[in-house]
Amino acid sequence: MGGGQSKAVKKPAGEVSQIDRAVLDLKVSRDRLTRYKKKLSLDSENLLAKARILKQKNDTKSALGLLKLRKMKENEVDKIDSQLLSIQSMVTNIQTKEQEAEVLNALRSGKNALEKLHQENTLEEVLKLMEDVEEQNELEKEINDALVHTGETLSGIEEEELELELQALMGDEVKAPINDEPVDLPVAPTDKLPEVETEKEPVKEKPARVAVAS
């Protein structure tokens, strides 16, 4: 399918195309045949009623003539039914083809749009763009990793400050951070300590009891 020749020409608004005119003619014929069919059916019923009356009057010959005429009208009705079926089938086929044409036009427009996009965006440009995007993603990952490590470094300091603040709230003294280096303590003496004499208090004597005469 060519590019310029295959493009569907849109009809101006209000303009009736040949297809629209053909469909309209078919529908007009269908309506006309439908009305004629109703008339034939009504005539057939009237002929049958008249034939019964003539039969009751013993006019058999006239009654048979009316029945023959009724049969002809019934055959005409059958032909009209066949014609109506053909017209309806043709209208349906035309409408189906119109829908198919619309689908093809839509596919054609989509194909042309893809071709234009492919011309504007070559394979080399797409590969270069994907490479740039990958580089930016790697750079973003490095920045995020650096921020995460910085947060881990600061977390220890923040925890220590919070512990000191908690101690202050509880009324404890804020102690200086403990130094991990060993502290030199004085050496305990190894010699025996001198004994210290304690003074003994004198024992007080109890006074002797005096006998009282009775």
How does residue 18 score in pLDDT terms, banded at 50, 70 and 90?
confident
Distance CA 143, CA 134 (A): 14
pLDDT at 42: 93
Q: Is the confidence at residue 164, as pLDDT, over 90? A: no
Q: What is the pLDDT of residues 168-185, one digit of tens each?
A: 888 755 455 555 555 565
Q: What is the pTM of this model?
A: 0.42
How does residue 75 score in pLDDT terms, banded at 50, 70 and 90?
very high
pLDDT at 5: 43
3-state secondary structure string, the chain? CCCCCCCCCCCCCCCCCHHHHHHHHHHHHHHHHHHHHHHHHHHHHHHHHHHHHHHHCCCHHHHHHHHHHHHHHHHHHHHHHHHHHHHHHHHHHHHHHHHHHHHHHHHHHHHHHHHHHHHHCCHHHHHHHHHHHHHHHHHHHHHHHHHHHHHHHHHHHHHHHHHHHHHHHCCCCCCCCCCCCCCCCCCCCCCCCCCCCCCCCCCCCCCCCCCCCC
Domain ranges (residues) in the chain:
18-120, 122-170
Q: What is the pLDDT of residues 99-148, one digit of tens each?
A: 999 999 999 999 998 888 888 888 888 888 889 999 999 999 988 888 77
